[in-house]
């Protein structure tokens, strides 16, 4: 149980982050939501967490490209709930292009959001966790923290980087009862993925089933999506006392992708 604990989950207005936030709230944690979106939609998710799980939730609008705002997000959790015990660095974006045409501003944004934001978040959360002698830091990496795909130079670099940051932080915090791990999903069924299907059906003259199996899941041997809830369940396990000796690890949840 996470009753009395507070979790900050970056990029939790959608997809995997939202599922993790709801999973932690279901275990009793108070939640700092973070991410972009329509204010009314964000408020619906925030209040929904409070009514569904009888915990408290606040939203931090911190932009993950801005180190000062990341520190403010952690401070908001500490001020509102008294502590930040769990930090999930999950916010992420993607851009696909050959390197020679890859816009430098996209490279900078992906490195900032998918990698540097985790450094700034961890940096801000450590002092409180050390003082209380307990902490859980989980980074949403990707199968792309272990293998590459063409045309995803910034994403693959950032995700390999976050795997390294995870190991380094784990070693630094090993004797403070603070664990640091990353989760590496394959293809996860998020709204983002779902919305690509009708267009791809049209463009390639394929059925929905063909798009899913032969296009989207070409790299995933199970030919099934990971669900956000499955990722959330793994994150929740990493917060448990049973996981106290798991640190510096990179957990694949990818339907066999990286076994190939």
Out of 30, 142, 166, 247, which residue is the one contacting ligand NAD (CB under 6 A)?
142
Using DSSP's 3-state secondary structure scheme, residue 88 falls into: strand
What's 130-172 look like in SS3?
HHHCCEEEEEECCHHHCCCCCCCHHHHHHHHHHHHHHHHHHHH
Is 251 known to be catalytic?
A: no
When the beta carbons of 12 and 30 are compared against ligand NAD, the nearer one is 12
Out of 58, 86, 113, 154, which residue is the one contacting ligand NAD (CB under 6 A)?
113
Torsion, Cα of 88, 48, 232, 151 (10° steps)? -70
Alpha-carbon span 244 to 260, nearest angstrom: 30
- Residue 45 binds to ligand NAD (criterion: CB under 6 A): no
Out of 30, 90, 220, 252, which residue is the one contacting ligand NAD (CB under 6 A)?
90
- Residue 60 binds to ligand NAD (criterion: CB under 6 A): no
Pairing of strands 178-185, 250-253: parallel
- Residue 80 binds to ligand NAD (criterion: CB under 6 A): no
Stretch that binds ligand NAD, among 34-42, 78-86, 200-208, 238-246 (CB under 6 A): 34-42
- Residue 63 binds to ligand NAD (criterion: CB under 6 A): yes
CA distances from 260 to 142, 226, 248 (A): 15, 17, 23
- Residue 138 binds to ligand NAD (criterion: CB under 6 A): no
- Residue 91 binds to ligand NAD (criterion: CB under 6 A): yes
Alpha-carbon span 152 to 158, nearest angstrom: 10
Task: Select from 75, 147, 144 the least CA-distant residue to 110.
Answer: 144
Alpha-carbon span 159 to 140, nearest angstrom: 9
- Residue 11 binds to ligand NAD (criterion: CB under 6 A): yes
Out of 27, 71, 75, 93, which residue is the one contacting ligand NAD (CB under 6 A)?
93
Q: Burial level of 254, CB count in 10 A (0-12/13-18/19+)?
A: buried
Out of 48, 50, 56, 65, which residue is the one contacting ligand NAD (CB under 6 A)?
65
When the beta carbons of 61 and 176 are compared against ligand NAD, the nearer one is 61
- Residue 16 binds to ligand NAD (criterion: CB under 6 A): yes
Residues that bind ligand NAD (CB under 6 A): 11-17, 34-37, 63-65, 90-93, 113-114, 140, 142, 185, 187-188, 190-193
- Provide the annotated active-site residues: 155
């Amino acid at each position: 149980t996470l009753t009395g604990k507070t979790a900050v989950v970056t990029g939790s207005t959608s997809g995997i982050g939202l599922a993790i936030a709801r999973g932690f709230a279901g275990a009793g944690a108070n939640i700092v939501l973070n991410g972009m979106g329509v204010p009314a939609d964000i408020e619906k998710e925030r209040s929904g967490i409070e009514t569904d799980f009888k915990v408290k939730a606040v939203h931090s609008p911190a932009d993950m490209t801005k180190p000062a705002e990341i520190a403010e997000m952690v401070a908001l959790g500490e001020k509102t709930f008294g502590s930040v015990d769990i930090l999930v660095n999950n916010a992420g974006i993607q851009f696909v292009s050959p390197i020679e045409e890859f816009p430098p501003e996209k490279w900078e944004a992906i490195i900032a959001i998918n990698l540097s934001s985790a450094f700034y978040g961890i940096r801000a959360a450590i002092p409180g966790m050390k003082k209380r002698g307990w902490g859980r830091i989980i980074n949403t990496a990707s199968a792309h923290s272990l293998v590459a795909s063409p045309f995803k130079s910034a994403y693959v670099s950032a995700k390999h980087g976050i795997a390294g940051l995870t190991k380094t932080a784990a070693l630094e915090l090993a004797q403070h009862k603070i664990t640091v791990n990353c989760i590496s999903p394959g293809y996860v069924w998020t709204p983002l993925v779902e919305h690509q299907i009708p267009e791809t059906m049209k463009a390639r003259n394929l059925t929905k089933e063909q798009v899913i199996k032969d296009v989207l899941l070409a790299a995933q041997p199970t030919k099934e999506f990971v669900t956000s809830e499955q990722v959330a369940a793994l994150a929740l396990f990493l917060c448990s006392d049973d996981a106290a000796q798991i640190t510096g690890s990179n957990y694949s949840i990818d339907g066999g992708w990286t076994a190939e």
